[in-house]
């Protein structure tokens, strides 16, 4: 689907609010991020195998997840470190 006004592609993720994403999928993303953030995030291959998406999509989605209150119960220093990994990987 395209947004002709802005000339960009809109995928299902951007059309779906995070509240519609199953909590177990959000937790899988966060668990993966917690395991891999000390090493700069998972490899592109690991991300593809685990989630079926490319690394850029994963880190964009993870950034969106980190911007929600769904991470409130997690260690905020770890969340901040994961956010830094996302920023580096998306640069």
**CA dist 68 to 30, 38, 72, 74, Å?**
12, 22, 8, 12
pLDDT at 16 over 60: no
Specify the pTM.
0.76
Tens of pLDDT, residues 17-69: 565 667 888 889 999 999 999 999 999 999 999 999 999 999 999 998 998 87
Cα separation, 63 vs 90, in Å, equals: 10
The structural domains of the chain, with segments of one domain joined by +, span 22-90
User: Encoding tokens for residue 58?
Assistant: 């994963």
- Looking at per-residue pLDDT, the higher value among 64 and 3 belongs to 64
CB under 8 Å to 27, separation ≥6 — which residues? none
């Amino acid at each position: 689907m395209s947004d002709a006004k802005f000339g960009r592609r809109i995928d299902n993720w951007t059309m779906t609010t995070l509240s519609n994403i199953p909590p177990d999928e959000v937790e899988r993303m966060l668990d993966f991020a917690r395991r891999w953030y000390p090493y700069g995030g998972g490899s592109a291959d690991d991300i593809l195998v685990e989630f079926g998406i490319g690394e850029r999509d994963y880190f964009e989605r993870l950034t969106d997840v980190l911007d929600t209150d769904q991470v409130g119960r997690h260690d905020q220093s770890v969340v901040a470190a994961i956010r830094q990994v996302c920023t580096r990987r998306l640069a």
